Amino acid sequence: MTKKRLRENYMLKEQRKVESEVFDKETLKSLAKLIKKGIIASVDFPISTGKEANVFSATTPSSEHVAIKIYKIETTPFFRREEYLEGDPRFTKIKKNNKDVIIAFARKEYKNLQICEQAGVHAPKPFYCERNILVMSLIGDQGLPYPTMNVQGPRNADDLEILLQDIKKMYKAGLVHADLSEYNIILGEILYIIDFGQGVVIKHPNAERFLERDVKNILNYFAKFGYKKDFEETMKWTRS
């Protein structure tokens, strides 16, 4: 093979690799749609690459920074997710195949963020949802995200109060986060809750159990830093 041919082969292979490992074809199409619709102008750099989703810093046509979360269609095992979709009356008609479940998750996170916005919960503002891509406000500065709580640790008792109030506001609005931990809290001037894909409405048969788990996670974490609150009392207050 000639050098040129070898290089062409290599480029093709790399391109395919990028398409399959970073953006699958459908995701690329969805990104193109978002650009065409004027929702974003560019995808700038990755903020987080995870098992289930990748989050990128992106820019809008009016030069504002936003976060886009791209749920991975190809690689996510969906058996773990089903518990959170089944029993949620908003998502009863979802077919049981991987792609549809993932797309439903993006939509679910978008809807849950809308509930948070209405309820005054500190969370990213939802801007748009296209297939498996969620566009939301970026909690950070100049396109760079603020750290999550697991990195920085809680700062004061106010952090715990704000968090518990947000959990209560959500519950009053009929929503339970269901995956709350120090990993899904971003520390800006104030703290923000993120990652609402697994959030369920309180009609979900396990909603109360998820609420208790969320509160327990938070109280246990803060207790390690000396901020202690009684679990039973906090639960009573949350439900009141």
Ligand X SMILES: Nc1ncnc2c1ncn2[C@@H]1O[C@H](COP(=O)(O)OP(=O)(O)OP(=O)(O)O)[C@@H](O)[C@H]1O
Helix (H) or strand (E) holding 239: helix 231-239
- Contact partners, residue 113, CB within 8 Å, separation at least 6: 123, 124, 125, 126, 134, 136, 196
User: Residue 13: helix, strand or coil by DSSP?
Assistant: helix
* DSSP track, 72-109: -TTT---TTTHHHHTT-GGGTT--SSHHHHHHHHHHHH
Q: Which positions from 103 through 142 interact with ligand X, judged by CB under 6 A?
A: 124, 136, 138-140
* DSSP track, 24-35: -HHHHHHHHHHH
Q: Exactly one of 88, 159, 166, 179 is catalytic; name it.
A: 179
| From the list Mg ion, ligand X, none, partner contacted by residue 50 (C-beta under 5 to 8 A by kind) | ligand X
- In the shown chain, the binding pattern of residues 173 to 192 toward Mg ion, with x for contact by CB under 5 A and - for none, equals -----------x--------
Tell me the closest approach of the beta carbon of residue 155 to ligand X, in angstroms: 17
Closer Cβ to Mg ion, 183 or 227, answer by number: 183
Q: Which positions from 26 through 85 interact with Mg ion, judged by CB under 5 A?
A: none
Is residue 159 part of the annotated active site? The answer reads no
Q: Exactly one of 88, 159, 166, 195 is catalytic; name it.
A: 195
Q: Does 195 bind ligand X (CB under 6 A)?
A: yes
Tell me the closest approach of the beta carbon of residue 57 to ligand X, in angstroms: 8
Closer Cβ to Mg ion, 38 or 50, answer by number: 50
Q: How many CB atoms neighbour CB 158 within 10 A?
A: 12
Is residue 100 part of the annotated active site? The answer reads no
| From the list ligand X, Mg ion, none, partner contacted by residue 218 (C-beta under 5 to 8 A by kind) | none
Please work out, in degrees rounded to the nearest 5, the angle formed at the alpha carbon of residue 215 by the alpha carbons of 234 and 172. 75
Q: Does 73 bind ligand X (CB under 6 A)?
A: no
User: Residue 136: helix, strand or coil by DSSP?
Assistant: strand
Q: Does 214 bind Mg ion (CB under 5 A)?
A: no
Q: Which of 31, 67, 187, 191 binds ligand X (CB under 6 A)?
A: 67
Tell me the closest approach of the beta carbon of residue 227 to ligand X, in angstroms: 22
Q: What share of the chain is helix, strand, coil (3-state, %, to 5)?
A: 45, 20, 35
| CA distance linking residue 195 with residue 217, whole number of Å | 15
Q: Which residues bind ligand X (CB under 6 A)?
A: 47-48, 50-53, 55, 67, 69, 124, 136, 138-140, 145, 148, 184, 186, 194-195, 197
> What residues are annotated to the active site?
179, 195
Q: Which residues bind Mg ion (CB under 5 A)?
A: 184, 195
